[in-house]
Structure 1
Amino acid sequence: MTRQHPRETAAEIEPQEQNRQPGLESEMEPPAEFIRDDYEGSGKLEGKVAVVTGGDSGIGRAAAVHFAREGADVAVMYLDEEEDAETTAEMVEDEGQASLTLAGDVRDSAFCQAAVEEVVDEFGDLNVVVNNAAAQVVKTDLTDISDEQWEETFATNIHGYFYLTKAALPHLEDGDTIVNTTSINAFRGHDTLVDYSTTKGAIVAFTRSLSQQLAPEGIRVNQVAPGPIWTPLIPATIGQYDPEMVESFGEDVPMGRPGQPSELGPAYVYLACEDSSYVSGQTLHVNGGSVIGG
C-alpha cells in the first residue's frame, strides 16, 4: 500500500467534535498515523523498559510503538480509554515486545507510585520515563477559566509529571532517560489556552531544572515541544468549542498543516537512546517549521 503523505491526510480533516476528554482514536476522521511502515528499527532501545503516560493514543502511542520497534518493552499508562490502550499494547506486541497497560489518573500520586512498582515487578527494570498525559480546555477569556479548571489542568499537566518522575527516580540509573512533552505554546503562548500554555511553560522549567540535578548521576532529562499534531485531543477540545475550527487546525504554521504522531515518534527515540548521550535539559521543536526561541 502506498503511504498517504501527511499533507494529503491534513486535507481530509473536516469539522468534528468529541464529547469527552481524553478523546478517542476510534472517533477521529481521518485516522492518525503512528509509525511509518518504512521506519526501520535498529535496536537503539534493545533490552530497555519504558513507561509512557497518555500512551493510549496520539503522541504517547507513537512514542510507545517507536520504542517497541527499537527493542523496548513498554508500559502504557492511560486514564480510562481501555480500547485505545489495548490497541497500543497490541501494536507494541506486534513489534515483538512485551506490553503492560495501567489504567489510572496521573493526578493521583499513589497511582503513579503503584504504577511504577508494577512496571518494575513485571519487567524487572525501568529505563525510560515519558511524561506525556495532558488536558486542555478552550477558553477565550481568562475570567471564564474556573478555579477548578485551572487546578485540574495543573494537576494533570505538571503535577502528574512530578509524581511519576518522583516514583521512578529510585529505579533509574546512569544512562537512563526522562522525556517530557511540553508544547510550542510554552514558547509562544496561546490566547485560548492560557492555563494549558502556562503548565507547558512549567514543564520547560521542570525539565531544565531536573536535568541539572540529575546530570551527575548520568540520568538525562529532555523534552519535545510539538506544534499542532493530529491527535484525539483536538476534536475533543478545539472541536468541542467549535467543530469548524478543527478543519483549519495547523494551517497557521509555515508548513500549513498539522503533523502526524508518526512525525513525533523518532524525536522521542532520539532523546531516549544513546544517540543523545551528550544532550540534557534541551528541547526538540517538532512544529511544522515555526521558529521558536528556547
Structure 2
Amino acid sequence: MNTILVFGRSGQVATELQRLGSVVALGRDQVDLTDPAACAAAIYAHRPRAVINAAAYTAVDRAEEVEALATLINGEAPTAMAQACAALDIPLVHISTDYVFAGNGTHAWAPDDSVDPQNAYGRSKLAGEAGIRAAGGAHAILRTSWVFSAHGGNFVKTMLRLSDSRDELSVVDDQIGGPTPARAIADACLSIAQQLCDVPTKTGTYHFSGAPDVSWCEFARAIFAQAERGTRVIPIATRDYPTPAARPLNSRLDCNTTEQVFAIPRPDWRAGLADIMTEIGITP
C-alpha cells in the first residue's frame, strides 16, 4: 500500500511520473487497456495507496474511424479502474482533456461548465469521466491541454523537426489554449494523489494548463525563438487546415479551483519549454 500505481509507461506524462516519484508504471505489455477487467485486476493485485491513469487513446483524428476502440480505452477502462479503486478505498487521479467542451467562445472553461464534445476523442474521454464519477470513490479528474515534453510525439518536437528542412511554416492562429509541460502535469498528479489520500473530500473535477494562453502560431514562434531558429511562422485559420476531427477554437481552462484546493498554480509553459530545449540538446 506504499506505492502509486500508474497506468501508462511510455507516454509523455507517464514518463515524467517515473522520473519524479517511486511509482509502479504498467505498460501495454503488462495491462491491455482494451481489457477493462485486466485494469481492475492489476489494481487488486498491486493494492497501491493511489492510482494515476496516464494512459489513453490519443490519436484524435484516427478516433473518428475507431470510436468504439477509443471509448473502450478512454471510457470503459478508466471506469473499471475507478470501480476497483472505490472497492479498495484508494484514490484515483485521471487525466482528461479540454476536448470534452464545445470549444467555442473566448472564456476560460470552468470545471462545472456544460460539456459538449465535438469529436470522437472528446466523447470517449467524457465517457471515462462519467464512469469515474459513477464509481463513487475518491478521485480527481484533471483536465489539461496541449501537452508537450522532450519525448513522445508533440507540437514542440514536430515544429523543431519541420524547421530542420523548411524556412517557413503555416500554423493555425485562431485556436487558443494553454500549452502544458508534461513534467508539470506529473508533478500535479503526484501532489493531488497524496492530498486525496489524506483528504478524500477533495474529490472532484479540476483543470490544469500552462500559462499564458496563446495560439498555436504564437506557441510555434516561441519555440523557434528559444531554439534561435529563423523559421518564419505564417498564421492561418483553422478552416485552412482541415482535419478529420474537429478541433476546438477555445481550449482555455480556468484553473483557479485547482490552485485553491490543492495549492497548485498554473505552470509557466515558457520555463517548461526552456527546460525541454536543454534536455534535447538545443541550448542557445
Please point out which of 13, 16, 37 is paired with 1:59: 13
Partner of 1:119: 46
Fraction of identical pairs, as percent: 15
8 Å CA contact 2:143–2:208 kept in 1: the answer is: yes
8 Å CA contact 1:184–1:287 kept in 2: the answer is: no
The alignment partner of 1:282 has SS state of strand
What amino acid is the match of 2:124? T
- Residue 209 (structure 2) pairs with residue 286 (structure 1): yes
- Residue 141 (structure 2) pairs with residue 223 (structure 1): yes
What amino acid is the match of 2:64? I
What amino acid is the match of 2:253? I
**CA distance, structure 2, for counterparts of residue 292 and residue 233 of structure 1:** 24
Partner of 1:163: 80
Partner of 1:194: 119
8 Å CA contact 2:67–2:124 kept in 1: the answer is: no
8 Å CA contact 1:179–1:272 kept in 2: the answer is: yes
* Deviation at residue 79 of structure 1 after TM alignment: 1.3
Partner of 1:49: 3
* Deviation at residue 158 of structure 1 after TM alignment: 1.2
What amino acid is the match of 1:228? W
- Residue 79 (structure 2) pairs with residue 152 (structure 1): no
What amino acid is the match of 2:148? W
* Deviation at residue 229 of structure 1 after TM alignment: 0.8
* Deviation at residue 189 of structure 1 after TM alignment: 4.3
* Deviation at residue 247 of structure 1 after TM alignment: 9.3
* Deviation at residue 270 of structure 1 after TM alignment: 2.4
* Deviation at residue 109 of structure 1 after TM alignment: 3.0
Please point out which of 28, 32, 39 is paired with 1:79: 28
**CA distance, structure 2, for counterparts of residue 145 and residue 259 of structure 1:** 25
Matches within 5 A, 1:170-181: 170-172=87-89, 176-181=90-95
Partner of 1:34: none
8 Å CA contact 1:50–1:130 kept in 2: the answer is: yes
Count of matched residue pairs = 194
The alignment partner of 1:204 has SS state of helix
The unaligned stretches of length 5 or more in structure 2 are: 105-116, 164-168, 214-251, 256-284
- Residue 181 (structure 2) pairs with residue 260 (structure 1): yes
The alignment partner of 1:115 has SS state of helix
**CA distance, structure 1, for counterparts of residue 212 and residue 31 of structure 2:** 35
**CA distance, structure 2, for counterparts of residue 195 and residue 252 of structure 1:** 19
Give a deviation string over 1:176-204, Cα, whole Å, max 9, x none. 311111112123449x9711111222233
Give a deviation string over 1:205-253, Cα, whole Å, max 9, x none. 334444xx33xxxxx21121121012566459x97xxx79x99599944
Q: Cα distance 1:145–1:266, how it changes in 2: closer, same or farther (>3 A)?
A: closer
Q: Cα distance 1:170–1:138, how it changes in 2: closer, same or farther (>3 A)?
A: closer
The alignment partner of 1:107 has SS state of coil
**CA distance, structure 2, for counterparts of residue 206 and residue 110 of structure 1:** 14
- Residue 130 (structure 2) pairs with residue 205 (structure 1): yes
What amino acid is the match of 2:39? C
Q: Cα distance 1:200–1:145, how it changes in 2: closer, same or farther (>3 A)?
A: closer
* Deviation at residue 287 of structure 1 after TM alignment: 4.2
Q: Cα distance 1:177–1:249, how it changes in 2: closer, same or farther (>3 A)?
A: farther
Q: Cα distance 1:170–1:250, how it changes in 2: closer, same or farther (>3 A)?
A: farther
The alignment partner of 1:223 has SS state of strand
**CA distance, structure 1, for counterparts of residue 173 and residue 91 of structure 2:** 30
The alignment partner of 1:136 has SS state of coil
RMSD between aligned residues: 3.9
